[in-house]
Amino acid sequence: MSRSYKISIIGSGRVALHLSRALEDAGHQIVEVYSRNIGNATKVTERLYGAKPVNSLDFSFSKSKVFFIAVADDALSDIAGRIILPENAIVAHTSGTGGLAVLHKFPFSGVFYPLQTFSKQRKISFTTIPLCLESDNKEALRVLKEIGNSISKSIYFLNSEKRKSLHLAAVFASNFTNRMLAISKEILEGQGIDYGILDALVSETVNKALEGDPKVMQTGPAARKDFKVMKEHLKLLENKAEWKNIYKVISEDIANNS
Amino acid sequence: MSRSYKISIIGSGRVALHLSRALEDAGHQIVEVYSRNIGNATKVTERLYGAKPVNSLDFSFSKSKVFFIAVADDALSDIAGRIILPENAIVAHTSGTGGLAVLHKFPFSGVFYPLQTFSKQRKISFTTIPLCLESDNKEALRVLKEIGNSISKSIYFLNSEKRKSLHLAAVFASNFTNRMLAISKEILEGQGIDYGILDALVSETVNKALEGDPKVMQTGPAARKDFKVMKEHLKLLENKAEWKNIYKVISEDIANNS
């Protein structure tokens, strides 16, 4: 068992919820959970052992050593500007796009970005989640690494520039992939076909693409430049201008790279 | 054990290869494998027990009862026009987009479309692959269903119109998803980041999207209309016009549906 830290969580969203649970499971003590809205903070502390919900950013008297800021990207700099921390506290945000610089006024600051998609109602094991760490302070990095190792087997050290590219890659791999599946579900439902018909296909596609090189694995009408089939597909999308557009630009990109 | 049929396979591509193997494993006898190029037919028969490679479409004297046409969509009508079958033979094509009508001159014709992505070098279990059947001939449909049941637990009856929509949905769910992963891999490699960092994220994304409703599960900058992050991402794609375009159209579609 590694050292146990006293930790406060700023934020009450999905990352805050899952991270606080994982930290507690690893033996750390969650002291406080902050949300502007105390009710939201309570929704997180309810699922923890001894954490206190708070709605003030003044942590001058907090017993915590480490503060994780897990808020929406567009709230990050505002929170960073207003939060008051105890002396020598270590503070890290969990954002993929937020730079290290947003915490520049704190001497012991860093980034602790878990690369995963979190849902409120799905339990998730942190063990395999890549944690991307960054700090230009040696002591902060040491502690973040220690905490990281206590919850995950997969620690990466990435500077802000690389982390931004990683986040962009994750948008394609996760958010956009999810949208492709949402579109296919709607197409099927429009025809009264069970969405579950895609299970085996999607699983095999993704296993293949993760084990090998998806560029080489590319199949489908665009990859074989089968313009007749693509034309028929575009016709089926006639009343769906946005999907037609998506179909076109991705097919063009596939055809140009096959 | 169900009845064993004598079957010939027209085509030597991935579907032909995997289907012939699955049929043989289920106790059917593959009599012939056709390819215009006899060497390609041999590559398939080499992996089977007693099948003969042939490069003629005259099957007048074939002992087969059932013929599967598993060729590229754009070769289908040409093959259907030239093939000569024994009397009372049952013939089905395996295409997602080809209609039933392409085989109209044969009395016992149908469609036998396996919804999966096949690779030359990956063994795949047919048991979970949805087989989409269609025929307007009762006897042909009975035999195709019997053969279908011998290799898969998942049989669907879809007319040509529904099958076309299914194929379109599969392009989004499989081909486009694969392209999203290929793009993310290239972005990561450009930064020297290991592509394996995406494994846990992609697996969770896809499990979630298949178990639940991907539209509801949508996360990411576009879903929360975080224009600052999207602008930064577009800047990172400045030298990649096609990907920038893909990013834009999918993000717009997500934002409009979140």
Question: For residue B103, what pLDDT is reported?
Answer: 97
Identify all chain B residues contacting A159, using CB atoms and an 8 Å cutoff: none
CB contact (8 A) between residue B165 and residue A256: no
Q: At a CB cut-off of 8 Å and minimum separation 6, what does B44 contact? A: B9, B12, B16, B17, B20, B33, B35, B51, B53
Half-sphere exposure of A74 (CA within 13 A, CB side): 12
Q: How far apart are CA B48 and CA A157, in angstroms?
A: 50
C-alpha distance from A73 to closest chain B C-alpha (Å): 8
Question: Is A117–B208 a contact, with Cβ atoms under 8 angstroms apart?
Answer: yes
How many CB pairs (< 8 A) connect A and B?
A: 309
Question: Given a cut of 60, is residue A18 above it in pLDDT?
Answer: yes
Q: Do A246 and B242 touch (CB under 8 A)?
A: no
Rg of chain A taking only CA atoms, in angstroms = 22
Segment A123-130 shows an average pLDDT of 92
Q: Find chain B residues with C-beta within 8 A of A193's C-beta.
A: 156, 158, 162, 165-166, 169
Spell out the alpha helix ranges (H) of A83-119.
none
- Chain B contact probe: residue of A181, A202, A231, A249 with most B CBs at under 10 A: A181
pTM for this model (two decimals): 0.92
Residue of A nearest to B128 (CA): A200
Which residues of A are less than 8 Å from B165 in CB distance?
A: 187-188, 190-191, 193, 236
- What is the predicted pLDDT for the residue at A122? 83
What span, in angstroms and rounded, lies between the C-alpha atoms of B119 and B131?
18
Q: B-chain residues within 8 Å CB-CB of A192?
A: 162
- Which of A167, A190, A250 has its CB closest to that of B176? A250
Mean pLDDT of A230-257: 97
Residues 6+ apart with CB under 8 A from A96: A73, A113, A115, A132, A163, A164, A166, A167, A170
What contacts A93, CB < 8 A, 6 or more positions away?
A: A68, A69, A70, A71, A76, A80, A102, A103, A111, A112
ipTM: 0.93
Asked if A204's CB is within 8 angstroms of B210's CB, the reply is no
* Rounded Cα–Cα distance for residues A213 and B121 (Å): 13
Preferred mutation among B161, B174, B239 to probe A, highest tally of A CBs within 10 A: B174
pLDDT tens column, A155-210: 999 999 999 999 999 999 999 999 999 999 999 999 999 999 999 999 999 999 99
| CA–CA gap between residue B149 and residue B131 (Å, rounded) | 9
What does the alpha-carbon distance between residue B100 and residue B83 come to, in Å, rounded to a whole number?
16
Environment class of A82 (CB within 10 Å of its CB; exposed 0-12, middle 13-18, buried 19+): exposed
**3-class secondary structure, A206:** helix
B224-258 burial, b at 16+ Cβ within 10 Å, e below that, comes to bebeebbebbbebbeebebbbbbbbbbbebbbeee
Q: What is the pLDDT of residue B1?
A: 55
Q: Which amino acid is at B58?
A: D
The predicted pLDDT at position B26 comes to 96
Biggest alpha carbon–alpha carbon distance for chain B: 70
Q: Tell me whether residues B200 and A250 touch, CB distance under 8 A.
A: no
Chain A residues touching residue B253 (CB < 8 angstroms): 179, 183, 242-243, 246
Report the residue from B117, B174, B201 with minimal CB separation from A170: B201
User: Is B72 in Cβ contact with A178 (below 8 Å)?
Assistant: no
pLDDT at residue A108 greater than cutoff 70? yes
- Is the pLDDT confidence value at A2 over 80? no
Q: Which residues pair with A132 in a beta bridge?
A: A113, A156
Query: Rounded mean pLDDT of chain B?
Result: 95
pLDDT > 80? residue B54: yes
Count CB neighbours of A246 within 10 A: 23
Contact criterion met (CB < 8 Å) for B73 and A221: yes
* Residue % of chain B over a pLDDT of 90: 92
Structure tokens at B252: 């717009």
B62/chain A closest Cα distance in angstroms: 32
pLDDT tens column, B222-251: 999 999 999 999 999 999 999 999 999 999
Whether the predicted pLDDT of A145 surpasses 90: yes
Picking from A72, A223, A228, the nearest residue to B224 by CB comes out as A72
A4-29 b/e with 16+ CB inside 10 Å = b? ebebbbbbbbbbbbbbbbbbbebebb
Task: Find the mean pLDDT for residues A44-70.
Answer: 97
How close, in Å, is residue B197 to chain A by CA atoms? 6
Using DSSP's 3-state secondary structure scheme, residue B132 falls into strand
B104 pLDDT above the threshold of 60: yes
Which residue has better confidence, A210 or B121? A210
Distance CA A233, CA A230 (A): 5
Is the pLDDT assigned to residue A30 strictly greater than 60? yes
Q: Amino acid letter at B252? A: E
- Write down the H helix ranges in chain B: 14-25, 38-45, 76-82, 138-151, 160-170, 177-190, 199-211, 214-217, 227-236, 241-256
The three-point CA angle A19-A199-B162 to 5° equals: 135
> Collapsing DSSP states into helix, strand and coil, what is residue B225?
coil
* A119 interaction partners in chain B (CB closer than 8 Å): 208, 217
Of A166, A201, A245, the CB nearest to B188: A166
Q: How confident is the model at residue A128 (pLDDT cuts 50, 70, 90)?
A: very high
To the nearest whole number, what is the mean pLDDT of chain A?
95
The answer to whether residue B2 scores a pLDDT higher than 80 is: no
Mutate to test the interface with A, among B124, B159, B180 (most CBs of A within 10 A): B180
What was the pLDDT predicted at A74? 86
Residue A138 has pLDDT above 60, yes or no: yes
Whole-angstrom distance, CA of residue B147 vs CA of residue B115: 16
In this predicted structure, what is the pLDDT of residue A1? Answer: 55
Task: Say if residue B74's pLDDT is above 90.
Answer: no
